[in-house]
Amino acid sequence: MNILLAAAEINPFAKGGGMADVTSYLCIEWGDMGHDVIGVLPGYKSIDKAAYGLRKTDISFEVPMGFGKETATVYSGSFPNSDARIFLIGHDEFFDEEYVYGDRNEDEDDDRRFLFFCKAVPELCKAINFSPDIVNCHDYHTSFIMPILKAQYKNEPLFANTGTVFTIHNLSYQGVYDKYRVMDFTGLKHKEFEVGSWFEHEGKVNFMKTGIMYADRILTVSPTYAEEIKEPYYSEGMQDAINSRLRDITGVLNGVNYRVWNPSIDTYLSKKYDSNSLEIKEELKLEYLRGAGIPEKMCTLPLISFVSRLTEQKGLDILENKLSKLLNTNKFILAVLGEGQEKYEDLVIEAKNLFPENVILQLNYSDREAHKLIAASDFLLMPSKYEPCGLTQMYALKYGTIPIVRATGGLADTISNYSAEKGTGNGISFPHYNRDELEASIRRAIDLYKSKDHIEKVRLNGMAENHSSRRCAKGYLEVFKEVLDDKG
């Protein structure tokens, strides 16, 4: 199959959140399975092209944007240790900044940047003579590729049999913009943007709705999220669009690239371990706590970590009122690695100031630290308000780190409550998004930690599971085949 995957984030070239991990392993897995795969990504200035062996090609083409034309330049190369190819679409101005997304408070130019990208993708296919069987678009930044293909390239032989699949990673980021600006950039007819059209939501152009409506098939990143988004609580206003496409939505659970997230080969760790050498995990914990300046007498306490973007999604609101009360018990160490909204950064800074010996705080983004902390931790906290899938809980399982989660989206699909009687389950999970259930779950974790046997059993249960990226990549291929069969 010829597969084109388009996204605003693809590892290792550009990463904002979990989407980058997923788009990357999909390309690599499909490539390993013998498919002809190209990943296409905006050529952000921040990408160190030389480090990844990406070369500037002599491909260059004009993309009509409104009244003018913009020139695209192209870099190409391969994914590390893979036959799958990667193409970067560059532009002197649009991607000539360090960021992936515009500053969230003044992102008025992201519509132009990503529409340029969407319009350049079919032109890239022409320039390299790539005829995709499937174009797989990820999240709203890429959704306009689909109507553009349908409206402007339908007579091109290269796209005669192309099917489109839209993956929703997170419904809460939708790409909402002024319709006059967008319609001028797209080159689609003005009348197509009327109220009630597939582009329009509450008087604005909505990129997410566009993707939902124009794709041949829609994927969500977990089966539970596919169910949840039919309801207003989770749908972020998209429930009508979602419910109009129910027959075409499938949840395929994300997976883990075990070549990257695996404690037995993890190059970030000073010592490797697996389920037969859990004593090394203990040593890594000690190394981490000592490195962070935690007093020796405190190092026997359980280490609970929070490795995440600090946003409303991740459950910080229900943690807020309970944090001081819980830390005051002096029964655990909390390590936070994350960055995000100011109010949540302030919350953890305050906790650090009040309980300097119980809190380790790293307000930044670091792959290395994420690996080291997940390996060192006893528990990983993810009390998410909603979680389309979540990857870190699956990374934690592989590292023998016990997830404490709110059962929503992919967290509900991957984490089951440990039963001391039966010895089953891989974590601690609570059903409702509220403070008391969160507090009870953290207390349960602290209690569980007192029993070495139980802790080891939960760890081993999780480590024995297989959430491989290959399984996820195969799930996508099944849907791709159905799309192609439908096309006849």
Other C-beta atoms within 10 Å of 242: how many? 22
- What is d(CA 396, CA 467) in angstroms, rounded to the nearest whole number? 12
- The interface partner of residue 401, options being ligand GLC, ligand ADP, none and the CB cut-off 5 to 8 Å by kind, is none
From candidates 221, 256, 316, 407, binder to ligand GLC by CB under 6 A? 221
Q: Which amino acid is at 188?
A: L
Task: Report if residue 387 touches ligand GLC, rule: CB under 6 A.
Answer: yes
When the beta carbons of 128 and 349 are compared against ligand ADP, the nearer one is 349
15 beta partners: none
In angstroms, the CA 82 to CA 32 distance is: 7
Interface residue with ligand GLC, options 4, 18, 179, 405 (CB under 6 A): 18
Sign of the dihedral defined by the CA atoms of residues 31, 475, 254, 200, in that order: positive
Measured distance CA(378)–CA(42) in Å, rounded? 38
218 to 239, 330, 409, 485: CA distances (angstroms): 14, 47, 16, 16
| Separation between Cα atoms, residue 367 and residue 270, nearest integer Å | 15
Binding mask 19-58 for ligand GLC (x = CB under 6 A): x--x------------------------------------
Nearer to ligand GLC, 186 or 384 (CB): 384
Burial class for 474, CB neighbours closer than 10 Å (0-12, 13-18, 19+)? middle
Minimal distance in Å, beta carbon 73 to ligand ADP? 29
CB 425 within 8 A of CB 458: yes
Interface residue with ligand GLC among 255, 383, 388, 427 (CB under 6 A) is 388
What are the residues binding ligand ADP (CB under 6 A)?
17-18, 21, 307-309, 337-339, 365-367, 370, 389-392
Residue nearest to ligand ADP (CB): 18
Binding residue (CB under 6 A) for ligand GLC from 91, 113, 119, 169: 169
Sign of CA dihedral 204, 183, 139, 248: positive
Q: Segment contacting ligand GLC (CB under 6 A): 200-208, 346-354, 388-396, 438-446?
A: 388-396
Identity of the residue, 25 or 117, whose beta carbon is nearer to ligand GLC in the bound complex = 25
Q: Smallest distance from the beta carbon of 150 to ligand ADP, in angstroms?
A: 29
The answer to whether the CB of 137 falls within 8 A of the CB of 211 is yes
Query: Mask 222-261, x = binds ligand GLC (CB under 6 A)?
Result: --------------------------------x-------
Contact call for residues 473 and 255 (beta carbons, < 8 A)? yes
Per CB under 6 A, the segment of 228-236, 244-252, 294-302, 382-390 that binds ligand GLC is: 382-390
Q: In the bound complex, what is the minimum distance in angstroms from residue 18's beta carbon to ligand ADP?
A: 2
Q: Which residues bind ligand GLC (CB under 6 A)?
A: 17-19, 22, 169-170, 221, 254, 387-391
